[in-house]
Structure 1
Amino acid sequence: MSDATVRFFVRLVHKVSSSRVFAKSAPHVIPAVDRGVHRLTRGRVLLSARLLPGVILTSTGARSGLPRRAPLACMPEDDGASWVLVGSNFGRTGHPAWSHNLLAYPEAFISWKGEEIPVTAQLLTGEERAAVWGALLVFWPPYATYQARVEREIRLFRLIGRDDEG
């Protein structure tokens, strides 16, 4: 595929994923498909990861205390041991449920490339959040459209791998 074709495809995906129609339909379709494919492939495949890197987050329900699984796009950080999750909720008004869960119970697990990794979530604020937000907009420009669509500040979490062996 030529560079021009790839650039065209990337622009098209950015435009579609920034649309209000996508914001209304994607939260119902993408997670269900991702969970099914992830289960069928025993954690090796996430369809949405063909566009963006992705994890399956297993957190503890803020109200229920039960395990909750959510397929999410992520931005892996350069250290190879941390990931950024964006609580964009596809530009919808409320914060996603998984972000409430991480605020209540920051210890969680992610499935990353078929491997279960224990992580601790940190809500990013202030200058640290601003720096990561700038990197995210380069990584996936539609996040700017999502933020412009809502009054709330989109939550950013850094997931840091932890050693549960000790």
Structure 2
Amino acid sequence: MNSNTVKDLGSKLMNRGHRLILAVSGGRLLSTPFGMPTVELHTVGRKSGLPRSCFLTSPVHDAERIVLVASKGGDDRHPDWYRNLQATPDAGIVINGVTRPVTARTATPDEKARLWPQIVAAYGGYASYQKRTSRDIPVVICETR
């Protein structure tokens, strides 16, 4: 088993564990890891066309938009959810128990430059993830439809 397979399996197990803990605790545990709200992102698989979902955090959000960071923990590959959004930008996000239909897009370089200080202020780990990889970690802006 190669290291990418192990990393991907670890991510999937962590996501399932997060889902289980949220369900068992009635949303009380792990609803704001690192002080950021947990969001459940619903996408369409770019290869399968099947519904997909994962749990992420949003370092910046308001009534109009939810910002996600496609860090994958500093991995050199983009996360699957990001590649799914590139293929099909219309998605759904559940935040604070409310489902929002959104359209996702990658932030422009200027938008990312403005958002990045807020993102790192919300969770400093994002800065170390960027240092860990040679890829430019995308910032995704999900705007309410």
Would you say the 8 A contact 2:73–2:129 is kept in 1?
yes
Task: Mark the structure with the bigger radius of gyration.
Answer: 1
Structure 1: any 5+ residue segments left out of the alignment? 1-23
Choose which of 30, 33, 39 in structure 2 pairs with 1:55. 39
AA partner of residue 62 (structure 1) = R
1:117-156 to structure 2, matched below 5 A, reads 117-156=100-139
Residues 1:38 and 2:12 aligned together? no
The Cα offsets for residues 94-132 of structure 1, whole Å up to 9 and x where unpaired, read as 110000000000000011111211111011122111111
Q: How many residues are paired up?
A: 137
Map of 2:64 onto structure 1: 81
Q: Which runs of 5+ in 2 are unaligned?
A: 1-6
Is the 1:76–1:83 contact (alpha carbons within 8 Å) kept by the matching residues of 2?
Answer: yes
1:113 aligns to what?
96
Q: What's the secondary structure of 1:30's corresponding residue?
A: helix
Query: Please, what TM-score do these two structures have when normalized by structure 2?
Result: 0.84
- TM-score, normalised by the number of residues in structure 1: 0.74
What is the percent sequence identity of the aligned residues? 34
**Rounded Cα–Cα distance in structure 2 between residues aligned with 1:49 and 1:70:** 15
CA contact (8 A) 2:22 2:31 kept: no
